[in-house]
Amino acid sequence: MKKYILEFNKLIKIGVPIFGSQLSYTLMGATDTIIAGRASANDLAGLAVGTAFSNTIWFFFTGIIFAVTPIVAQLYGAKKYLEIGKKLREILWVASCLGLLMAFIFFNLDIVINLFPIKSSITTITIDYLKAVSFGWFFVTIFTCLRCYSEGMTHTKPVFYIAFAGMLLNIPLDLIFVYGWLGAPKLGGVGCGIATTIVSFIMMISIFIYINFSKNYLKTKPFAEFTLPSLGTTKEVLKLGLPIGLGIFIELSMFSGAAIILSVLGEVVVASHSVAINIASLFFMVPLAVGLASSTRVGNLIGEKNPIQAKIAASATIMLCMIGALINSLVILLFGSFIVGLYTTELPVIELAVSLIFFAAVFQLPDGIQMGALGSLRGYKDTFIPMILLLISYWIFAMPIGYYLTNFGFGTPLGAKGMWYGMIIGLIIFSFLSIFRLRWIMKYMINKVFNQEPQPL
């Protein structure tokens, strides 16, 4: 029990600032949604479709960069500090290339968007938003690389401070560019893209400066010398990070696919779904923070060659995620109607969004469990099999079931509710599969350290 209490304390110490950071990122999106929603339902729908496309693509690319956390965490546990700094400099080259590629894709995504049967009044806002935010995602990619480096060494507070400041700055910038305050042009939902780009640049510069001057990073010498790209490090990042990126792409494509499937039902349905999914995502930050903390903590313990304590840390992660998810569900059920009212003033949108709140509450438990398991698996550097399990759960089960129930149901189409049924079923399936995989990998690592290594799967 003492070992479990130790891990609870470690996870909370690492995870609370991560929670603050993740909450700040989510509040930026929530701010965009609220401010655009109060401009008009059309602006909100255009922003929702734009973020559905951009978030899916961005998380695929930066999922590769998420490999920095377990790489740094295991090296930090093994006390290979100078190697951490060298790895960071080499991975920054990878991050820069991915960021530039992303900016190019977003700027030209109108070629794809125009192929979808979405109203032109919505797609016009979506396309302009994506062009405005395109370079912002480049800055975010570099920031993410430095953030994962810091979090892998358990320095999570600086990231939180910068993310929180960015979230606060995003509020006035949204108001200025969406509503045309202080003489700026009134751009509606497109203004959110301009605000995001400005905030992302400031956050990137801020974390560069902090890492360069803070004594917390001195032993890794992150910017002590110039380092050329490394083929070996690039392969290592891609081998570990590509499955993470593809796994996140698969998961988010379920949410983005839901928005696209529902988009043909009109702006009220799209806006209501956007509000409900935004609320679900906001509360999901608790288990997400614990899962991300577990990636660092488990990685540190594996680097220390302590797989038994790593197993305890992973088990403690699942417990904390379940507790957090249950609390979230209760809060959503009790205060859901009030929260929806913060997002929009249009009565049709409010009525439908409130009806979807129950699903957002049910959403929390399986989503929390799977995040705890995924975070721990990343700490073990186990990413390929979880990606396959995500593919099975979301593309083979969640999306087809959701599409069928939305458009056909059992004699009567269920609309937006049908899509939520499908997503919940997919999450439940994956939560079970990810727990089984985690149990196997914990046993495998213990046997490996004690020279009883089975064949890996």
CB environment 284-319: b (16+ within 10 A), e (fewer)? bbbbbbbbbbbbbbbbbbbbeeebebbbbbbbbbbe
Instruction: Extract the tokens encoding 151.
Output: 């979090």
Write down the pLDDT at residue 237. 95
pLDDT digits (tens, 9 = 90+) for 124-143: 888 888 888 888 989 999 99
Q: Does residue 183 contact residue 193 with C-beta atoms inside 8 Å?
A: no
pLDDT digits (tens, 9 = 90+) for 33-87: 888 877 777 777 778 788 877 777 887 888 899 999 999 999 999 999 999 999 9
pLDDT digits (tens, 9 = 90+) for 24-37: 887 888 888 888 87
Q: Identify the burial level of 335 via C-beta atoms within 10 angstroms of its C-beta, where 0-12 means exposed, 13-18 middle and 19 or more buried.
A: exposed
pLDDT digits (tens, 9 = 90+) for 228-244: 999 999 999 999 999 99
Looking at the predicted structure, is the pLDDT value of residue 215 above 80? yes
Looking at the predicted structure, is the pLDDT value of residue 455 above 60? no
d(CA 49, CA 180): 22
pLDDT category, 117, cuts 50, 70, 90? Answer: low
DSSP line for 89-136: HHHHHHHHHHHHHHHHHHHTTHHHHTTS---HHHHHHHHHHHHHHHHH
d(CA 238, CA 244): 9
CB environment 247-270: b (16+ within 10 A), e (fewer)? bbbbbbbbbbbbbbbbbebebbbb
Mean pLDDT of the chain: 89
pLDDT category, 122, cuts 50, 70, 90? Answer: confident
pLDDT digits (tens, 9 = 90+) for 150-160: 999 999 999 99
